[in-house]
Amino acid sequence: MLVLTRKRGEQILIGDDIVITILDAKGDSIRVGIDAPRGVIVHRLEVMKAVTDANVEASRAAASDGDTLAGLLAGMPKKTAEEPQKEA
C-alpha cells in the first residue's frame, strides 16, 4: 500500500484519468473528491460490503423459501387431468 501525506487542495493522480483531491480535514475525518471517467465505478468499501452481505442473505432466504414451497407442493394430493368433454 502506498501511503501519502497530502494537504487540503492537493491532489493524487491514479493512472491517466483519475484525480483524487483532498477537500477538507477535520479531526479524524477527511473529505475527498474523486474525478473519474463515467465507466469507472467508485464505491465506499463499507457500502459494498453491506450490499454484498444483504445479497448473500437474500439468496439464502430465497433458497430456503424454494425448499419450503417444494415441500408444501410435494405434500399436496395430485390432481388427475380431466378429459375434455365432447360437444354433440
Tell me the CA distances in angstroms from 21 to 17, 27, 70, 73, one per residue in order.
13, 18, 54, 59
Predicted local confidence at residue 26, as pLDDT: 92
- Other residues' Cβ atoms within 10 Å of the Cβ of residue 20: 16
Q: Per-residue confidence of the chain (88 residues) as pLDDT tens digits?
A: 999 999 999 999 999 999 999 999 999 999 999 999 999 999 999 999 999 998 888 877 666 666 676 777 777 776 666 666 666 5
Cell of 45: 468499501
Tell me the CA distances in angstroms from 67 to 5, 62, 71, 72, 78, one per residue in order.
54, 9, 6, 9, 19
**Cα-to-chain-centroid distance, residue 59:** 12
Predicted local confidence at residue 57, as pLDDT: 83
Domain extents for the chain? 11-68
How far apart are the C-alpha atoms of 80 and 14, rounded to whole Å?
67
Q: Is the pTM value of this prediction over 0.95?
A: no
